[in-house]
A = this chain, B = another copy of it.
Amino acid sequence: MNNIQEFLPYILKHENISRIEDKTLLIGDRRSYPFEKKFYKAENVFEAASAIKNMVTQGGGPLEVALNSLVLIAKQNGKCEKAFKEGVTALINSRPTNTTMARELKCVLPTIINSFECDNFVSKVEEIVNNRLDYYDSCYDKMSDIGSHLINDEDGILTTCFPEHSFFLSLYKARLANKRFCVFAPETRPYLQGARLTSSSLSLMGFDHYLITDNMVGTFMREGKINKYMTAADLALKDLTVVNKIGTFQNAVVAATFNIPYYAFAISFDQTKKDFNDIVIEYRDSEEVKNFRGVKTTLDSVNAIYPCFDIIPSKYVSGVITPDKLFLNGEKR
């Protein structure tokens, strides 16, 4: 596709993930979507990092926020290596589990520092950042070519959390190929990304879908209504270990029981990690488990616990879809 942007749901379009207006970074607030289309205003890179930490954006969002933050730093601080380094550190620390943003920042930072020689520095940073955003768009395009071919006519497709660009583009391309399918979207407590982001995007894009609670997955697998499982990945290792939102693991276990294949989309493998012992799992404030969009679910005296991500060992992963190819489990590499 020449331009994937027009085929994406509202919250995945560049301008709704984040954009700079004057010297402010606007970040699409996924916490209130679809009820409100609000933007969080980050006045500097540290506020952008806080916004990521506070779940204003998640999934693939922080990557674009971080790239745009580099433009913000250029505008606010000019050719200041210290400002870039401190900003990049704050951004990286805002999201310990998903390392795509961290790897991108570590890769792009030297290029920016090398551009201190340029006369029109801010424009140069904008150009670098736009090239990177275009690069990721081309990745999503390629991954969805593979994803759409994995979708068959009459499929019942389970996802989890908000499965991001590659999944929605896969659906779009599968529909173009006249395939009919139904997507099952678990609501994904405690943040309800599945209910708020996924099911509303599916509805607005006119895809057949069911919103379900997180405890119904096994039921529809047993009944034969789900026969494929596809998610985004917050992290993927070369041995096909996948990390993704809490709940992804148990869905994969139940899928394996029913011989349902599980595919995860990942832009690249994190080569810095040997195996799953190297993965840092983010725990968040357990108060989030005791609330539902600001409404309490139980007594204050109750103890709760909130591991935010799941590690899915490769034995439960059928394949990882990257821009280059589909890496199938058991395949020699």
Which residues from chain A sit less than 8 Å from chain B, CB to CB?
Answer: 34-35, 160, 186-190, 192, 195-196, 199-200, 202-204, 208-219, 221-222, 246-247, 249-251, 253-254, 256-257, 289-290, 292-299, 301-307, 310-311
Contact = CB atoms under 8 A, between A and B. Distances in A.
B246 A219 contact: yes
A213 B310 CA distance: 13
Contacts of A304: 199, 210-212
A36 to B, nearest CB: 12
B211 A290 contact: yes
A189 B210 contact: no
A22 to B, nearest CB: 32
Nearest to A221: B250
B215 A297 contact: no
A19 B254 CA distance: 43
A218 B249 contact: yes
16 contacts: A189-B213, A195-B302, A199-B299, A204-B299, A204-B301, A209-B303, A212-B289, A213-B246, A213-B247, A215-B247, A215-B250, A216-B305, A218-B249, A218-B310, A253-B253, A292-B292
A220 to B, nearest CB: 8
A200 B302 contact: yes
A314 to B, nearest CB: 14
B296 A295 contact: no
Q: Is the interface of A mostly helix, strand, loop or mixed?
A: mixed
A297 B247 contact: no
A253 B217 CA distance: 11
A182 B213 CA distance: 25
B250 A211 contact: no
B200 A214 contact: no
Contacts of A254: 250, 253-254
A304 B215 CA distance: 14
Q: Which 9 A-B residue pairs are closest in the complex by CB-CB distance? A: A218-B250, A215-B247, A189-B213, A195-B297, A214-B215, A211-B304, A214-B214, A195-B298, A199-B302
A289 B203 contact: no
B310 A210 contact: no
Contact of A199 (B34, B217, B298): B298
A105 to B, nearest CB: 29
A301 to B, nearest CB: 5
A295 B293 contact: yes
